[in-house]
Amino acid sequence: MAIEGSIATGLIAVGAGLAVGLSAIGSGLGEQQIGAAAVGAIAENEEMFGKGLIFTVIPESLVIFGLVVAILILGLAGG
């Protein structure tokens, strides 16, 4: 008498959670230093605001990629 998919379903959920969580942690660590440098550049020259904003937003794309991977993991495992 086997329990159908309970362990497998749990491991799939853990994998999807790790995909989003680790990408968010990595993005946060990268954005920390980029944000500090951007604030310093803006303090010296206000024309750097646009570039600083763009460079601050770039690491957030990694979290979106992690979310896409999590959705793919959950979608492929469910089907």
Whether residue 38 lies inside any domain: the answer is yes
Range of the domain at 55: 28-69
Instruction: Round the CA-based radius of gyration of the chain to a whole number and report it.
Output: 19
Whether residue 79 lies inside any domain: the answer is no
Integer Cα distance of 20 and 26 in angstroms: 10
Residue located via tokens 């944000």:
35
Whether residue 37 lies inside any domain: the answer is yes
Whether residue 6 lies inside any domain: the answer is no
How many independent structural domains does the chain possess? Answer: 1
- 1-59, pLDDT tens digit by residue? 445 667 888 888 899 999 999 999 999 998 999 999 999 999 999 999 999 989 888 88
Whether residue 40 lies inside any domain: the answer is yes
Phi, psi angles (nearest 5°) of residue 6: -70, -45
* Residue 65, both tokens: 């990629």
Integer Cα distance of 68 and 21 in angstroms: 12
Residue located via tokens 């008498």:
1
